[in-house]
Amino acid sequence: MNKPHLVHLKIRRGGPDQPARYEEFPFEFEDGQSVLDALRWIRGNRDASLAVRFSCINANACKECVMRIDGRTGYACTTPLHPGDMLIEPLPNKRLIRDLVTDTLPPDER
Amino acid sequence: MARYLETDVLIIGAGGAGMYAAIAAATAGGEVLLLDKSVIGRSGATIMAQMTVAAAIGEEEPDDWRFHLNDTIAAGRGLVDEPLARILCQSAPERIWQMEEWGIGWARSGNHITQAHAPGHDRNRCVYVDFLSTGPATSRTLRNQCRRHDNIRRISDLTITDLVVRNGRADGAVGLYLETGEPVTIAAKTTIIATGGLTSLYQRNSASANMGGDGFALGLRAGAALIDMEFVQFFPIGHLAPRLIGMDPIMWDPFRYKLGGRLLNGEMEEFTQNYGTAEDGKYVITRDTATYAIYREVEAGRGSPHGGAWLSFEHISEADLRAAFGPVIDRLADNGIDLTKMPIEVSPIAHYHMGGLRVDQTMATDVANLFAAGEAVGGANGANRLSGNAITEAFVFGELAGRSAAEAAANTSLPDVRDAAGPYLAVIEEAGGRPEPDGGTSPTAAIADLQSILQRDVGPFRTGDGLTGALAAIAELAAELPLMATGGAMAFNQQLADWLALRNMLEVARTIATAALARTESRGAHQREDHPGLDEAWTCNQIIRRDNSESGGGITLSRAAVRRLPGPEGAP
Ligand SMILES: Cc1cc2nc3c(=O)[nH]c(=O)nc-3n(C[C@H](O)[C@H](O)[C@H](O)COP(=O)(O)OP(=O)(O)OC[C@H]3O[C@@H](n4cnc5c(N)ncnc54)[C@H](O)[C@@H]3O)c2cc1C
Ligand code: FES
């Protein structure tokens, strides 16, 4: 299958007590592939320790994959990849758990 | 998060079935603990369903639950557990009206609830929420109801890894709290497995990440019986490409019903006529023929680029598309899809599991104090499920399991499982203590391997050789499991979560392949290329249990007579 485009994802890694650290992952993709597709590929093929919350993958129903993408808040599963660099970070206004996962649960569900 | 929790009723999995069970158990009195491995009410199949719910409410035209039951039994090709199906169909209207009372907002035309027709139903029976919002509306409604009960404690991000069984009785469970990586022990008077289906065992699926069949493995290890594990429902024209977000992958079904469309192979030629069904732009091909034809074309090197078939609506005008699907056409446009200009690719995808935990008419498994609900339950749909019956099953079996479990809890004293939990906790600790691989693959990558094995050899078309090979490949992965790395101690360790999921997936995959290999006939969703055609001698269920006598814990397969109703229900 033809994967015509290349993106370099710069991903913020680490937990709340660690200094911010950015890691870069190249990913070849075809039109229509999402940021979540790239993050899942990284987990499966490069670094399974990357923490990223998601459930529904395609349906945009669970709303779990919310994060900062190129400085804007969005869903990883609905944000298309674009060639070049992309900056992927956890939500800035929520308590950081690790990597891209922040505390987005309702307080009465823990 | 406390490391030791106590409750009257423990509910594992918070989809439609788990939430309904929680509400029913809480209403009956007693403390309820409702858990999900991801987020309460958001992470399973329920919120993803966009189509319909079947119930004989007779709003659109006169109907009776007996008609619904007859259709369900006919669709199940001789294997429906009739007492369970009867409960499903008879209680369905009550649940639909209760959801209406709770404000779900079923679509209406004029002064009545609209009921659509779906294949296999003898009349307009299926309710829904506009537009394609049945699942989200269901989840929202049940979440809101759960919140109204002070005696329902809800915890997200808690994966149950084993039930704690003492003297043949389920006394609670242990699990992993993902945020901190802490193991958690729960003492419960009664427990309900509401973990949904297993379709993420397959590479091509309509599943969320949490549908690896945990509940079947939990039940099996605890001593419960599984039924009909060979019957996995595939949907023939699931969306394959281009990437499509925010839509139900089975959405092309209503498109084909309304607009026909043309199925084309990689050479852009119609092909279904070569498999016995010429379509002429109408949707007349049956699901099994469509699946078979697409598989064969791909095998012959005539698949679409991503390994499926093309589905084209290019001959239909923009105006006709809009008239039929209004806002959906805009959602497709957001995905860069213009149906007037391009075909899309489709392929058979794993969609629902007919098999599951065997229960009686109170939703009790044969392990004391252990119940099941929703898609985790096997039997009610036999060898093939009618569309719309799955959400109904989540509502009806959820409510019933909740009531039954609360009632049983009222007659049970709270167990102390601090000691008994030890060996189960050791599994998590041992897995978590292996940051570096001793060889072999990572569990995350191994899940992908397992998905390809099942897709190829335990999918919609099976052969004895393929299944035997799959069992060997599954055993090989299982042998590697104890060596796979899990990343070590860290917050939100999904690698460890993947390992725990894989442990269950391997166990469940083995039950599907074992039952499929034994059933030397083709019936409903189980199609054997080397045994075509239905064999009357196989009008029986297959039951799988854990066989603890063998070292390493094997499984045993046996046959059981299909449970029938005493007499014909007949027309009302
Ligand atoms: C895309 C899609 C569309 C569908 N459309 C329809 C339709 O239109 N009509 C219809 O009738 N049916 C439809 N179905 C089927 C139907 O949605 C499901 O059968 C039904 O919702 C199942 O409900 P449930 O509560 O049993 O399971 P789910 O809703 O899947 O919930 C199970 C929950 O258990 C959790 N869980 C799993 N394992 C564990 C564990 N070890 N510990 C803790 N929690 C755990 C999961 O995270 C999940 O939240 C569809 C299914 C899909 C996937
Ligand atoms: S993964 Fe579910 S909304 Fe993005």
Confidence of residue A54 (pLDDT cuts 50, 70, 90): very high
Per-position DSSP letters for B60-97, written without gaps between them: SS---HHHHHHHHHHHTTT---HHHHHHHHHHHHHHHH
In a domain? residue A83: yes
**Per-window interface: B 234-253 vs A, CB < 8 A:** 241-249
User: How many other CB atoms are found less than 10 A from the CB of residue B429?
Assistant: 9
Q: Answer for the pair B474, B452: CB distance below 8 angstroms, yes or no.
A: no
What per-residue confidence (pLDDT) applies to B571? 52
What per-residue confidence (pLDDT) applies to A48? 92
- CATH number for A18: 3.10.20.30
In a domain? residue A39: yes
What per-residue confidence (pLDDT) applies to B276? 87
CA distance A12 to chain B (A): 15
Per-position DSSP letters for B436-498, written without gaps between them: S-SSS--HHHHHHHHHHHHHHHSSSEE-HHHHHHHHHHHHHHHHHGGG-----S-TT-HHHHH
Per-position DSSP letters for B157-223, written without gaps between them: SEEEEEEEEETTEEEEEEEEETTTTEEEEEEEEEEEE-----GGGSSSBS--TT-S-HHHHHHHHHT
Question: Which of the 8 DSSP states describes residue B368?
Answer: B
List residues bridging with A74 in a β-sheet. A67
Distance CA B288, CA B77 (A): 14
Domains with residue ranges and CATH for chain B: 3-232+352-410 (3.50.50.60), 236-347 (3.90.700.10), 426-537 (1.20.58.100)
Q: Which of B23, B39, B46 has most ligand 1 atoms within 8 Å of CB, for mutation?
A: B46
In a domain? residue A89: yes
Distance CA B251, CA B135 (A): 14
Among B304, B401, B412, smallest CA distance to B348 is for: B304
Helix (H) or strand (E) holding A69: strand A66-69
Ligand 1 pocket, residue B378 CB under 6 Å? no
In a domain? residue A95: yes
> Beta B527-528 vs B461-462: how paired, if at all?
parallel
Distance CA B404, CA A48 (A): 41
In a domain? residue A62: yes
For A80, phi and psi rounded to 5 degrees? -70, 150
In a domain? residue A110: no
In a domain? residue A41: yes
Ligand 2 pocket, residue A57 CB under 6 Å? yes
In a domain? residue A88: yes
Distance CA B81, CA B328 (A): 38
Distance CA B90, CA B84 (A): 10
Confidence of residue A102 (pLDDT cuts 50, 70, 90): very high
Distance CA B30, CA B251 (A): 41
Distance B210 CA to ligand 2 centre (A): 12
For A19, phi and psi rounded to 5 degrees? -65, 150
- Residue A37 belongs to domain spanning: 8-105
What does the pLDDT profile of chain B (572 residues) look like in tens digits? 899 999 999 999 999 999 999 999 999 999 999 999 999 999 999 999 988 999 999 999 999 999 999 999 999 999 999 999 999 999 999 999 999 999 999 999 999 999 998 888 999 999 999 878 899 999 999 999 999 999 999 999 999 999 999 999 999 999 999 999 999 999 999 999 999 999 999 999 999 999 999 999 999 999 999 999 999 999 999 999 998 887 888 889 888 988 889 999 999 999 999 998 888 888 888 888 898 899 999 999 999 999 999 999 999 999 999 998 888 899 899 888 999 999 999 999 999 999 999 999 999 999 999 999 999 999 999 999 998 999 999 999 999 999 999 999 999 999 999 999 999 999 999 999 888 776 668 899 999 999 999 999 999 999 999 999 999 999 999 999 999 999 888 999 999 999 999 999 999 999 999 999 999 999 999 999 999 999 999 999 999 999 877 555 589 999 999 999 987 665 55
| Overall domain count for chain A | 1
Closest ligand (CA of A56): 2
